[in-house]
Amino acid sequence: MDTNLTDRLKKRDEQAFRELVDTYGQLVFRTCMGILHDREDADDVAQEVFIEVFRSIDRFRSGAKISTWLYRIAINKSLNYLRDNRRHTESLVPREASVAAISAAVTGDSPLETLQEKEKKKILEQALNALPEKQKIAFVLSKYEDLSYKQISEVMKLSVSSVESLIFRAKQNLQKKLLDCYRKSC
């Protein structure tokens, strides 16, 4: 499918572009979400990913997997978005609080339980965001996207042993950061 689809994309076939978005839209969104932790931001960046694909499809190597290329673009666009929009980490708390209230009303959970879950998620996201970039990427691709180490090595252009090492160190760093946070009652 990849070869046929990329050939059609290179011919600027609009139906092929719709197929690309239908087939890989969730993959791109989840990858962006794993790095950005904000649904609106991830949606915006995912759209940018597909615009970039459309613009640069002629540079795509036919022998490569399109999913690997999409992961790379999604990761790079998400990291660039974080660098360019530092404000989004500060605005997360008020938005999360209102989402928690709405969620509690819909699910029937108490607002306190919902806020506690949101707070745990926020702490984990902060710990994940504090990881070195390569560790974060490897961890997100492994745990959020459920990619194998071999697939991650292709996306990140690293050896499998380097990926194993990055994920191992990411887990250690996350454990340390979360343990420190819970000791301090974050």
In a domain, 70, yes or no: yes
Whole-model pTM: value is: 0.66
In a domain, 12, yes or no: yes
Q: One digit per residue, pLDDT tens: the chain, 186 residues?
A: 567 888 888 899 899 999 999 999 999 999 999 888 889 999 999 999 999 998 999 888 877 788 999 999 999 999 889 888 865 444 343 344 444 444 444 445 566 666 667 777 788 888 888 899 999 999 989 988 888 999 999 999 999 999 999 999 999 998 888 888 777 765
For 20, the domain range is 1-86
In a domain, 117, yes or no: no
- pLDDT at residue 44, rounded to an integer: 95
In a domain, 63, yes or no: yes
**How many domains, the chain?**
1
In a domain, 60, yes or no: yes
Task: Compute CA 83 distance to the chain's CA centroid, rounded to the nearest angstrom.
Answer: 15
CATH number, position 54: 1.10.1740.10
In a domain, 140, yes or no: no
